[in-house]
Amino acid sequence: MPDSGITRILITEDEIKATVERLGAEITACYMGIAGERVVIGLLRGSFVFMADLIRQIKLPLVVDFMAVSTYGDGTVSSGDVKVAMDLDESIENRDVLLVEDIVDTGNTFNKIIRMMHNRNPRSLRICTFLDKPSRRIAHVDIDFCGITIPDEFVCGYGLDFAQRYRNLPYVGVLQVE
């Protein structure tokens, strides 16, 4: 059973859909009237499900790129050690960039990635996260577009994983951590 270990559903499919639609409308309104196409960058692997739904809600020209970063390995607590396994294919110099993440937890990953992105001289850099867990924040992160703020629980589903499992769940559930 793909959801064994999930103790309860935290965010339903309908809540996810409404959140993604709201974020798409907010992002579209923010960039409306700004010439050029946006570069929407997803942080793999967790953001791919959210980002696929999100870009369909953004009603403006855009291109997609990805970075692969890791901080959790197979654990439930971030190690704080950010590893970049795959870098961007697209240049972001003098372009409007939207960095998309599944969840902002400690903020350590985003601080490293944001510094890397700023060093590449984008015209603008904005952050969109599906989930925000501010109670765990160690490093400050300015989030421009936030889906849902959640409590300090380990969650899986809708792209979020534990040891590469649970990503395919259509909802976000709380994982029983032993």
With beta carbons less than 8 A apart as the criterion, state whether 109 and 82 touch.
yes
Out of 105, 132, 142, 152, pick the active-site residue: 105
Cα–Cα distance list, 41 to 16, 50, 72, 97, 101 (Å): 20, 12, 20, 7, 9
Nearest to 132 by CA among 160, 167, 102: 102
Nearest of 102, 103, 94 to residue 152 by alpha carbon:
103
Residue 105 appears among annotated catalytic residues: yes
Structure tokens at 42: 């997803």
The residues that bridge with 165 in the sheet, in sequence order, are 162
Provide the annotated active-site residues.
105
